[in-house]
Structure 1
Amino acid sequence: MEVTTHRGEGKLQQVIEIGPHSLLTDAPVESGGEASGPAPHDFLAAALAACTSLTVTMYAKRKGFPLDDIAVSVKHGQDGAAYVLHRTIRYIGALAPEQAERLTDIANKCPVHKTLTGQMQIFTEVAAS
C-alpha cells in the first residue's frame, strides 16, 4: 500500500490519498494552519486506537469472549524529549477478569503497537521533478 499527499486548499492543508480513500490533515491555528483536519500526530494516535479495537475484537470473537464492545482512547503529546501515547481501553461486556487481562495482552500485540514500540527505519529519497 502506498500513501501519497498533496497540497490541499488551505495554507498548510494536505490531502492524504490511501488507495481509494482521501483524508485531510492540517496544522493547528497556533502553528499557522487552519485546523481544517486532524494534525498528523492525531492520525498516529487514531491508528493505534483503531488497530487496538480491531485486533481485540477479532481475538474476542475467535475465542468466544463476551465482548459486546470496546472503547479505546489515546491521549498524545510531547513530554520533554519523548512523544507520549497514553492509551485507555474500556471493555464492554460480561468478561471474566482473566479474559480482560488476556485482551489487554492482545492489545499490546496489535500491529500498530508493535510497529510503534519496535525498531523502525525511514528511508527518504527525492524524486526527480
Structure 2
Amino acid sequence: MTVTARSLKNLQVEIQASNHAILADEPIRDGGDDAGPSPYDLLLSSLAACKVMTVHLYARRKQWPVETVSLTLNHRKISADECEDCQTQGKAKVDIIECEISFDGDLDEAQIKRLADIADRCPIHRTLTSETKIRTAVLS
C-alpha cells in the first residue's frame, strides 16, 4: 500500500491513494484555502470509514440485519492532567477522539454491544491505539 503526496499552491496537497486523487488543505483560519479536508479531517475519516466497514463485514458474516451504521467522531487535545484515564501525566497534550455510533436494523441489545466492540477492533483503530513508528528518509 503506497500513498503519494505533492504540494500545490499555498497549503494544498494533492494525494494519490491507489486509483483515487484527494485534495487536502487547511481551513482559512489556519492559513489554507479550505479547498479540501484538513489532515485531521482525513485521519478521522479513515477511522470512521474503517469502523463502518468493519461492522458491516462482521454483520454480513453473522447474517445480522444491519442496514446502516452511523458514526460521529470528534478530535481535541487536552492537557494530560485533565485526563482521568490517561497514562501520560502533567501538562503534556493528549489526543482525545470521541466516537458516537449507532446501528439501524432489527438488532437486540447483545448484538448492538457486540457490534460496538467490533467497531473498536477495526484496523485503523488498532493502529492508532498501538505503538507506531514512522521512519522518514530524505531523498535527494
Tell me the TM-score range normalised by the shorter chain. Answer: over 0.9
What number of residue pairs does the alignment pair up?
127
Aligned position for 2:24: 25
In 1, the alpha carbon distance for the partners of 2:40 and 2:94 equals: 13
- Runs (5+) with no aligned partner, structure 2: 80-92
Deviations 1:76-109 (A, max 9, x none): 1222301221111110011010000111111111
Secondary structure of 1:67's match? coil
The percentage of aligned residue pairs carrying the same residue is 37
In 1, the alpha carbon distance for the partners of 2:10 and 2:5 equals: 15
Runs of 4+ in 1 over 6 A off after TM superposition: none
**TM-score (normalised: structure 1):** 0.94
73-82 or 112-121, larger mean C-alpha shift: 73-82
- Runs (5+) with no aligned partner, structure 1: none
Aligned position for 2:102: 90
Aligned position for 1:6: 6
**TM-score (normalised: structure 2):** 0.87
In 2, the alpha carbon distance for the partners of 1:83 and 1:41 equals: 11
78-87 or 60-69, larger mean C-alpha shift: 78-87
Secondary structure of 1:70's match? strand
Structure 1 residue 46, shift from structure 2 partner = 0.4
In 2, the alpha carbon distance for the partners of 1:63 and 1:20 equals: 31
Structure 1 residue 125, shift from structure 2 partner = 0.7
Root mean square deviation of aligned Cα: 1.0
Deviations 1:52-82 (A, max 9, x none): 0000001001101121111111111222301
